[in-house]
């Protein structure tokens, strides 16, 4: 169950760990005469002491021709050469900031404080801790006793001068103002700074009429200010190419293609590694069997080898079971949502819950949940998280069950096509959906809108 839950990249790490910890596991194309079906009777419960003499070596060795599929799990495509994961390299975000401190003329104590401030910057580029807390931490952890005023001075004159511009800000307002002040001054930028410094709340809440009245500006001038501020980066830390967080790369666990008008499902080859039992361990057992004198060290080695071989066989079986479970589950989901995968039209998504799939393939709901929550599938319409295909049902005005995903998509389209000068309120959105045949209450519209990360009408307003 733990292996099933792992997405492709995490599964590869788990596989690498198991190979490192168990020398009886090996990778690569290799013929091994090893009968894994005859070892079950030697399973022990962890408490029973097994003597080397009790182990029948013949049951671990066999001269029979055993097909590869009995000792290997191999599903790599012939042209799948790039099996290694790429690794990010280069200077980290925080290291880059610390390196820049060397360009400032500051004494040793100031450098310690500045480095401490840099270390307090989060991945978005902000310092979100109170200055007094930083002063206390400097005293306790660095043995540097300073004041809030000194820390603030170094923050403004050193840390907030580092690249990318905007790092070291304590909130969004300060971040945007720092960036504007570092640009060549002109009328619109000066006006933008004034608006952010004195009327930040009005600007964020889009109270445009109040801003035009207060600053005595036209709608066109305010529009230029909004465009100027819109060019700024609200998360300067995330723009750093060498950020210490490796950029997430989604590796799909499955691939669905349309071949001759039919859906074709495949499991990512990286989920089906080529594994077999090490021939070196096989040879050790043969050597023990052929030796006339059995020393104590040889007997101890046989017990160790048995343990590692059993673990290796169990792991290979567990991987096969994982592959089978993943394929059976995804195949059921694909056929349940056949129309969607064939057309890419989200309105074709049928209402589907975990129990629907669990009942079809006679598995536990928890197993389906493990597959759905952490796995991705590559489709002709992009890479999708499998759990996105699950949704509750709701009846339309004709009494038919429709997916809540379908309703959300229609809601998204309605909002996307609205007049941004007069955005639709939740009440009006509810009325529009009702006209389209979906009798949805205002509260439900508000819930779906929030799930889609769409703000209220007032915050969608544009000029």
What pLDDT score does 63 carry? 44
pLDDT of residue 291: 67
Q: Is 449 left (phi over 0), alpha (psi -120 to 50) or beta?
A: alpha
Separation CA 114–CA 97 (nearest Å): 10
pLDDT of residue 395: 67
- Can you give the pLDDT at residue 318? 86
Residue 341: CB atoms within 10 Å = 24
Rounded Cα gap, residues 57 and 82, in angstroms: 39
Judge whether 342 and 334 are in contact, CB under 8 Å: no
User: Helix 426-435 vs helix 404-416: angle between axes, to the nearest 10 degrees?
Assistant: 120
Closest to 370 (Cα-Cα) out of 10, 103, 107: 10
Q: What is the pLDDT of residue 309?
A: 80
Radius of gyration (Cα) for the chain, nearest Å? 32
Question: Longest C-alpha distance within the chain, in Å?
Answer: 103
pLDDT tens-place values along the chain, 463 residues long: 788 888 777 888 888 888 888 877 777 554 444 444 333 333 444 444 445 455 555 555 544 444 443 444 444 444 444 444 444 445 688 888 989 998 888 899 999 999 999 999 998 899 999 999 999 999 998 888 999 999 999 999 999 999 889 999 999 999 999 999 998 888 999 999 999 999 999 998 889 899 999 999 999 999 999 999 988 999 888 766 444 444 456 788 899 999 988 999 998 877 667 777 777 776 776 666 666 666 777 777 777 877 888 888 888 888 888 889 999 999 999 999 998 899 888 778 888 888 889 999 999 998 888 888 888 999 998 888 888 888 776 766 666 667 777 788 888 888 988 888 888 899 989 888 888 888 888 888 888 888 888 988 888 888 7
How far apart, in whole angstroms, are the C-alpha atoms of residue 304 and residue 281?
Answer: 10
pLDDT in tens, 120-143: 999 889 999 999 999 999 999 888
User: What would the DSSP string read from start to end of 2-40?
Assistant: HHHHS-HHHHHHHHHHHHHH-TTEEESS------GGG-G
Residue 247 has what pLDDT?
42
In this prediction, residue 200 carries a pLDDT of: 92
Model pLDDT for residues 356-400, shown as the tens digit of each residue: 899 999 999 988 888 888 889 999 988 888 888 887 767 666 666
SS3 percent helix, strand, coil of the chain, rounded to 5, is 55, 10, 35
Burial class (CB in 10 A: 0-12, 13-18, 19+), 160: buried
In the chain the domains, ranked by start, together with CATH numbers, are 1-80+248-390 (no CATH), 93-239 (no CATH), 393-460 (1.10.10.60)
DSSP annotation string for 248-259:
P----SEEEEEE
């Amino acid at each position: 169950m733990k292996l099933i839950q792992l997405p492709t990249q995490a599964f590869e790490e788990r596989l690498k760990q198991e190979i490192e910890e168990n020398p009886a596991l090996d990778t690569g194309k290799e013929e091994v005469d090893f009968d894994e079906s005859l070892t079950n009777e030697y399973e022990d419960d962890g408490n029973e002491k097994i003597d080397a003499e009790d182990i029948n070596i013949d049951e671990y060795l066999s001269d029979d021709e055993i097909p590869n599929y009995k000792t290997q799990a191999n599903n790599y495509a012939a042209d799948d050469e790039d099996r290694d994961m790429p690794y990010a390299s280069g200077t980290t975000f925080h290291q880059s900031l610390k390196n820049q401190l060397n360009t400032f003329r500051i004494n040793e104590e100031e450098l310690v404080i500045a480095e401490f401030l840099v270390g307090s910057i989060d991945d978005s580029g902000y310092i979100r801790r109170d200055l007094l807390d930083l002063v206390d931490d400097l005293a306790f952890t660095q043995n540097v006793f300073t004041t809030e005023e000194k820390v603030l001075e170094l923050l403004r004159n050193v840390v907030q001068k580092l690249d990318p511009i905007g790092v070291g800000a304590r909130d969004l307002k300060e971040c945007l103002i720092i960036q504007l002040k570092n640009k060549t001054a002109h009328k619109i930028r000066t006006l933008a700074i004034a608006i952010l410094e004195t009327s930040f709340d009005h600007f964020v809440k889009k109270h445009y009429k109040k801003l035009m009245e207060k600053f005595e500006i036209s709608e066109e001038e305010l529009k230029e200010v909004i465009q100027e501020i819109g060019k700024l980066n609200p998360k300067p830390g995330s723009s750093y190419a060498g950020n210490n967080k490796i950029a997430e790369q989604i590796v799909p666990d499955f691939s669905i293609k349309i071949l001759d008008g039919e859906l074709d499902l495949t499991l990512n080859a990286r989920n089906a590694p080529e594994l077999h039992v090490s021939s070196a361990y096989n040879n050790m057992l043969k050597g023990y069997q052929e030796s006339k004198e059995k020393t104590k060290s040889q007997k101890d080695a046989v017990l160790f080898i048995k343990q590692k071989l059993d673990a290796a066989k169990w792991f290979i079986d567990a991987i096969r079971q994982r592959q089978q479970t993943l394929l059976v589950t995804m195949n059921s989901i694909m056929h349940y949502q056949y129309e969607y995968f064939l057309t890419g039209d989200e309105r074709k998504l049928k209402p589907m819950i975990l129990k629907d799939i669990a009942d079809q393939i006679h598995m536990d709901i928890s197993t389906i949940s493990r597959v759905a929550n952490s796995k991705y599938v590559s489709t002709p319409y992009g890479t999708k998280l499998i759990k996105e295909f699950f949704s509750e049902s709701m009846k339309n005005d004709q009494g038919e069950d429709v997916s809540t995903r379908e309703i959300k998509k229609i809601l998204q389209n309605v909002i996307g096509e609205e007049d941004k000068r007069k955005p639709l309120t939740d009440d009006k959105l509810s009325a529009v959906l009702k006209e389209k045949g979906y009798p949805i209450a205002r509260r439900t519209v508000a819930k779906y809108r929030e799930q889609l990360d769409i703000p209220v009408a007032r915050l969608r307003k544009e000029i």
